[in-house]
Homo-oligomer: A and B are copies of this chain.
Amino acid sequence: MRKYSRQREAILKVLKNSKAHPSASFIYEEVRKEIPNISLGTVYRNLAELGKSGEILEISVGDGTERYDGDISPHIHFACRKCGKIIDYPLKNDMFSEFATESGFAADTTVCVVYGLCEECNRK
């Protein structure tokens, strides 16, 4: 049975207030402003917990560090190879679940990343 923790609340708050898909260590630094002696291990443990419960998304963009997303509405990600920015693209309906259901796969989460160059980087 899950128990309340101030640390987990603070981590979730950072994610819900960010559109930047931050890494664990970024979240750690943010939460430290409020809870200075929080441990990095605590951040990782809670991110895994929140991911497993479906409250946040865990996103790998292949840059060596996992990213986290507090937005769990249906959307995909555009990841710029040059500046590293991740841009959200909302979807009207979750087409992934439909594909999965067709195939007998019981889907719970989708992480879709489109790689390329953002408009800004593409101009240069």
Residues of A within 8 A of B (CB): 58, 60-62, 66, 76, 78, 80-81, 87, 89, 96-97, 99-100, 103-119, 122
* Residue on B nearest A90 in the bound complex, by CB: B99
Q: Cα distance A104–B96 when bound, in Å?
A: 23
Q: Which residues of B contact A107 (CB under 8 A)?
A: 78, 114-116
Number of copies: 2
Q: Cα distance A78–B122 when bound, in Å?
A: 31
Q: Cα distance A78–B97 when bound, in Å?
A: 9
* Residue on B nearest A63 in the bound complex, by CB: B60
Q: Cα distance A100–B119 when bound, in Å?
A: 10
Contact at B105–A118, with CB atoms within 8 Å? yes
